[in-house]
A and B are shown apart, each in its own frame.
Chain A
Amino acid sequence: MKGILLAAICCLFNEAVMAEPSSLVAWTPDTLNRLKKGNAEHGKELSGTCAGCHNETNANPQLDGQLPTYIYKQLVDYKNGNRKDPTTAMNGLASTLSDQDMTDVSAWYGQQAPIQGKGGGNDTTGIVFKGDGKRMEPSCSSCHGYSGQGEKVDTPRLAGQKADYLEKTLLAYKSGVRGNDIYSRMRLIASKLSDQEIKQLADYYSKLD
């Protein structure tokens, strides 16, 4: 009897200490189908609120031409608190959006012409295409695509993104401040990069067109 009680307490405890998953988004066929049917017209209306912060002039990430799946996942993660915006703006905003709103605004941004860098990018780290076997570091291009265009399902486009943002978010992965990547895939990669390499990689991707 005592044993059973102990086991039960252990179980409870076990459940309680189980850490939060990094993201509650799962790419089930259901979710993917819903995203395909996003209403871009409604998304366009919603994007009016976003444009004040997401544009060419300030330091915030650009969204034009980003993968809708990626945008959707980030919005859900902000809403659930899995990704924390240091300015808290995104967390507040996302919590006012319904699931349909997030789907629609993702569809709208996904349809826009992708942002373009000014060209002349040069990978001085050698990690973009070759990776680094010694550090168990896969090449960035194997996931983010040959020209940084992103890959389904949720690997974002990096090409043409603002260098300052790329650097900031890579540093956030490295320190663990950003931890909404499922199974720590980006955290493990960023944690093995030096700050200098992060700067170089951010510069390289920002210049891609």
Chain B
Amino acid sequence: MNPSSWISKIRSCLNLFEQDIEIENLEKKWLYVATIMVGFFVIVMGIGALVLNVNPPSHWETIDSASLHLSSEFAEDKLGVQPMALPDGTIQVQLVAARYGFYPREIVVPADQKIQFRMATLDVLHGAHIPMTNMSTMIVPGHVSEVTTVFPKPGEYPLLCNEYCGMGHDHMWSKVTVLSQDEWAALKTGGKQP
């Protein structure tokens, strides 16, 4: 299509608006309701972000994805739930996303305790999402994604990739088992009471 025909297209559109279009009263009311709702949510989001400081996880840390397995943090034997909790009791979990799975493929973590996921990709863009929880983030090549969350409910959850990453994307999931605090304590002490 050449530019002049584009211009005439746009003109005819503008003409349409200039005409007095009949709008039903009921339709008008709903237009107001919808506009007010949009405005309301924008304000809520604004307050959330600016006053309450509720923001999507944004963590700016770079890493060389190609040599991830040679890095000290994401070395093959350093992945998974870290044996030592952070000073504030947060449990740290290092995960690698690679076509087509999260490594290690299965992890066990406690409920009702802060879990900090640190994730990086070996190849392309992946997503990490645990349904029914608020754990969800993108894993961008060259960056470390960090998300901290608390799982309130024990159970078995899938950890899914939600960014299309290739032929095997559908198969890209791993297993997260959330234990109650009691079960977790029992696991740590080999079944004995602490």
Give Cα distance in the complex from A143 to B123, angstroms: 13
CB neighbours (8 Å) of B64 from chain A are 26, 28
Q: Chain A nearest CB: distance from B129 CB in Å?
A: 17
Residue A141 lies at the interface, judged by CB distance under 8 Å to chain B = yes
Which of the candidate stretches B5-13, B44-52, B93-101 sits at the interface with the other chain? B93-101
Give Cα distance in the complex from A26 to B63, angstroms: 13
Q: Chain B nearest CB: distance from A77 CB in Å?
A: 13
CB neighbours (8 Å) of B168 from chain A are 131, 138-139, 142-143
Give Cα distance in the complex from A183 to B172, angstroms: 15
Do the beta carbons of B166 and A23 come within 8 Å of each other?
no
Do the beta carbons of B76 and A22 come within 8 Å of each other?
yes
Total contacting residues, chain A, CB less than 8 A:
27
Kindly report which residue of chain B lies nearest to residue A138, judged by CB atoms: B171
Kindly report which residue of chain A lies nearest to residue B175, judged by CB atoms: A136
Residue B187 lies at the interface, judged by CB distance under 8 Å to chain A = no
Give Cα distance in the complex from A131 to B169, angstroms: 12
CB neighbours (8 Å) of B78 from chain A are 18
Q: Chain B nearest CB: distance from A140 CB in Å?
A: 10
Give Cα distance in the complex from A27 to B103, angstroms: 19
Do the beta carbons of A188 and B105 come within 8 Å of each other?
yes
- Which B positions have Cβ atoms within 8 angstroms of A? 64, 66-67, 69-70, 72, 75-78, 96, 98-101, 103, 105, 122-123, 166-168, 171-175
Besides A19-B75, A142-B166, 10 more A-B contacts (Cβ < 8 Å) are A21-B70, A22-B76, A139-B168, A142-B167, A143-B99, A146-B167, A153-B123, A182-B76, A183-B98, A185-B98
